[in-house]
Amino acid sequence: MGAGGVDEGTATTRLDGRVERGNRTRRLILRRTVDIASVEGLEALSVGRLATELRLSKSGVFALFGSKQELQLATVREAARIYTEQVIRPAAEVAPGIGRLWRLCDLWLEYSRGRVFPGGCFFYGVIAEFDARSGPVHDAMVGAHRAWMSLVERTAAEARDTGELRADTDIPQLAFEIVALMETSNAFSVLHDEESVYRRARTGIAARLRCAATDPAMAPQVL
């Protein structure tokens, strides 16, 4: 028995239950915050709004995050987790080469087109919100963007190393052009509510890969 006659096992069970309830509430809140931020920006997040919309107490929401900045940072981390599950991990299942690079691009375009976040690509919108600012949220967005660009470059470099892209391929330039096509399709789609831009992006990326491939037949065909 513990102090005051409370069984230690019972106390642990109660504590575990509270922790799990807290984790469920945190997941509920973050699922809402990523949706809000993708449309309205991270500055639109507030404890009061979330408490009202999700029928939670303000004190309970505040206890989970502590400050608006931590809420914003937690939202960025949650968006990165979802993004990883939707785009990065499935692409990694493909063998290194042009196929993996194309899969990465195709998954990104589908992630945007399918509105995993209602505002399109979460990071495209939020980066524009914080690009000229300073502070932890800006730094988190810089880190996320650098990690994405590094992944595209690394995936392209793997395709070069396998011999599927020409040895003289300018990897940073190729990655820049690919990402530019993807981000432009996202922006046009969100602004004009038009899906045809994703096919244009796929066509452009496939053409760029065909030019860089040692065997153009290995490049994807867009129907």
The CATH number linked to 39 is 1.10.357.10
Assigned domain for 77 exists: yes
d(CA 186, CA 180): 10
Assigned domain for 46 exists: yes
Assigned domain for 223 exists: no
Is a pLDDT exceeding 90 seen at residue 118?
A: yes
Count CB neighbours of 73 within 10 A.
Answer: 17
**What value does the mean pLDDT take over residues 71-91?**
97
Determine the number of helices (DSSP H) and then strands (DSSP E) in the chain: 10, 0
* Domain tally, the chain: 1
d(CA 180, CA 182): 5
Average pLDDT, the chain: 92
Alpha carbon of residue 223 to chain centroid: 27
Rounded (10°) angle between helices 196-212 and 98-113: 170
Assigned domain for 200 exists: yes
Least confident of 20-24, 58-62, 92-96, 190-194: 20-24
Is a pLDDT exceeding 60 seen at residue 4?
A: no
Quick one: pLDDT at residue 1? 41
Assigned domain for 81 exists: yes
Assigned domain for 108 exists: yes
Q: Give the model's confidence band at 219: pLDDT under 50 very low, under 70 low, under 90 confident, else very high.
A: confident
Alpha carbon of residue 177 to chain centroid: 19
Higher pLDDT, 122 or 2: 122
Assigned domain for 126 exists: yes
**What value does the mean pLDDT take over residues 128-147?**
94
DSSP assigned state of 116 = S
Report the percent of the chain where pLDDT is more than 70.
91
Q: Could you read off the pLDDT of 139-173 as tens digits, one per residue?
A: 999 999 999 999 999 999 999 999 999 999 999 99
Quick one: pLDDT at residue 18? 67
Is a pLDDT exceeding 60 seen at residue 130?
A: yes
Higher pLDDT, 21 or 59: 59
Assigned domain for 44 exists: yes
Range of the domain at 100: 3-218
DSSP assigned state of 213 = B
Is a pLDDT exceeding 60 seen at residue 5?
A: no
Beta bridge partners of 165: 213
CB 159, CB 101: distance < 8 Å: yes
Q: Could you read off the pLDDT of 200-214 as tens digits, one per residue?
A: 999 999 999 999 999
pTM: 0.87
CB 184, CB 161: distance < 8 Å: no
